[in-house]
């Protein structure tokens, strides 16, 4: 795309990716600066078909995240905003609260640390003894627990669709079936060519491509300093949903960005069980049979992948065992819910987490947003990004509008 100058822009801000973060960013631009021309390119036939539409639908409270981090600030703020957004637009949601349950003595110090972290993040937390757990969940067993009242559930796919509708009502557009094939960044702006041959010229590019964000960054000529290593989260549905009233979580291991196998009563009344976290063999590898050799080779060629594997192989082996053995998965669930049987677990659709991994093998824990000339890259936005999507979107919009302002637009 040899464009040395541009006399006509198709839009002011071009967003790649119609997941909940990309749509929130586009929506926030139109709210903050009415009249700004915004377009979104999405390779799929509709919005929210990957991370946004393939999770457990939890509105996270923010209790897990380091005080002062983007995750902590945006999750706490975003949880309240998401409940309000759903109420205003008639989107199914419920503030259920959740239990975080310690089932082993060695977990008790970590549970207490979560209490302190929750309080530092301004989250109401109630500490429970073993006998008090039954007040909330009669079928759950543990040594101690904490109750977090601000956690809830919603339909994030419906939220994304509403954001797309609101964007269109403000004059923006979402182009579906528009996979990005090339990016040409010049002093005047950015030109993006889709796989179908269409060219879109914009003043500012916002990369919210999720599972493909590092690839888009490289197309733009930037070295993101990380790679997306996809982890598949495998779920079951509980055949006896009456065993669980709300949300029940184990005490997480702080060394990992995963929360462990948990129980989630959704807005449809069913109970989701999971996920475990296993390496996916494709960026959209929702089953072991989904293999894309080029993508897998890219993951294996990244030094951080091997360093992560060496560092955390014991944890990974346990996750693989639960993936391949339903009995092992049921055993993990029985730590929280003793009455469960293998037959109570029915396979449910899996999701894939877009996990950023640094060259040294570090699993990026916080949200990661970087700027380059005329470009904003959102490079790590897995859970709780759906919860935090409205504040993340505003942050990205502020940066994009700042670039426009610096360019004298």
Tokens of 55: 């999770």
Tokens in use for 336?
């929280």
Question: Who contacts 120 (Cβ-Cβ below 8 Å, separation ≥6)?
Answer: 67
Q: What is the mean pLDDT of the chain?
A: 94
Give pLDDT, residue 257: 64
Give which of 24, 53, 19, 58 is closest to 389, Cα–Cα: 24
Residues 227 and 209: their CA atoms lie apart, in Å, by: 13
Peptide bond into 114 cis (omega under 30): no
3-state secondary structure of 184: strand
11-51+157-225+366-406 has which fold? FAD/NAD(P)-binding domain (3.50.50)
Beta bridge partners of 193: 182, 199
Write down the pLDDT at residue 409: 59
Residue 208, classified by CB atoms within 10 Å of its CB into exposed (0-12), middle (13-18) or buried (19+), is: buried
Residues lower than pLDDT 70 in the chain: 1-7, 255-257, 407-409
What pLDDT score does 7 carry?
Answer: 56
Where are the chain's structural domains?
A: 11-51+157-225+366-406, 95-152+231-358
DSSP 128: E
Q: Is residue 5 exposed (0-12), middle (13-18) or buried (19+ Cβ within 10 Å)?
A: exposed
- Cis ω for the linkage preceding 396 (within 30 of 0): no
Q: Please state the φ and ψ torsions of residue 341, each to the nearest 5 degrees.
A: -120, 160
Q: What angle do CA 19, 100, 343 make, to 5 degrees?
A: 80
Condensed to tens digits (0 to 9), the pLDDT of residues 258-276 reads 778 899 999 999 999 989 8
The whole-model pTM stands at 0.94
95-152+231-358 topology per CATH: D-Amino Acid Oxidase; Chain A, domain 2 (3.30.9)
Token pair of 357 as six digits: 């991994």
From CA 261, how far away is CA 101, in angstroms rounded?
A: 12
Query: In degrees, to the nearest 5, what angle opens at C-alpha 41 toward C-alphas 37 and 43?
Result: 170
In whole angstroms, give the CA distance from residue 368 to residue 66. 15
């Amino acid at each position: 795309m040899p464009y040395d100058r541009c006399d006509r822009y198709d839009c002011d801000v071009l967003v790649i990716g119609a997941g909940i973060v990309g749509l929130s960013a586009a929506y926030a631009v139109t709210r903050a600066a009415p009249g700004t021309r915004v377009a979104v390119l999405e390779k799929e036939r509709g919005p929210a078909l990957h991370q946004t539409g393939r999770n457990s639908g939890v509105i996270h409270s923010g209790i897990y995240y380091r005080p002062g981090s983007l995750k902590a600030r945006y999750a706490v703020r975003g949880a309240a905003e998401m409940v309000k957004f759903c109420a205003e637009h008639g989107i199914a949601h419920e503030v259920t609260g959740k239990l975080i349950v310690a089932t082993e003595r060695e977990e008790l110090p970590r549970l207490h640390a979560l209490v302190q972290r929750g309080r530092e993040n301004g989250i109401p937390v109630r500490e429970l003894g073993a006998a008090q757990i039954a007040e909330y969940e009669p079928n759950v067993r543990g040594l101690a627990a904490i109750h977090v009242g601000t956690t809830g559930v919603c339909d994030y796919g419906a939220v994304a669709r509403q954001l797309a509708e609101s964007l269109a009502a403000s004059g923006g557009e979402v182009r579906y079936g528009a996979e990005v094939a090339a990016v040409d960044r010049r002093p005047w702006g950015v030109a993006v060519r889709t796989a179908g041959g269409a060219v879109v010229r914009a003043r500012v590019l916002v990369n919210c491509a999720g599972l493909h964000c590092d690839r888009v960054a490289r197309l733009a000529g930037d070295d993101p300093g990380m790679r997306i290593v996809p982890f598949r989260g495998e779920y079951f549905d509980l055949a006896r949903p009456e065993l669980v009233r709300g949300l029940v979580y184990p005490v997480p291991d702080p060394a990992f960005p995963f929360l462990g196998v948990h129980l989630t009563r959704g807005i449809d009344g069913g109970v989701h069980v999971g996920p475990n976290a296993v390496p996916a063999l494709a960026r959209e590898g929702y089953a072991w049979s989904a293999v894309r050799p080029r993508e897998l080779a890219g993951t294996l060629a990244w030094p951080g992948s091997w360093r992560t594997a060496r560092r955390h192989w014991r944890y990974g082996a346990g996750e693989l065992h639960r993936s391949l053995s339903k009995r092992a998965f049921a055993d993990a669930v029985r730590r929280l819910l003793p009455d469960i049987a293998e037959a109570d677990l029915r396979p449910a659709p899996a999701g894939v987490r877009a996990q950023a991994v640094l060259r040294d093998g570090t699993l990026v824990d916080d949200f990661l947003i970087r700027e380059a000339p005329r470009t904003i890259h959102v490079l790590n936005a897995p859970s709780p990004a759906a919860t935090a999507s409205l504040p993340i979107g505003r942050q990205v919009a502020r940066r994009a509008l700042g670039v426009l302002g610096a360019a004298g637009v």
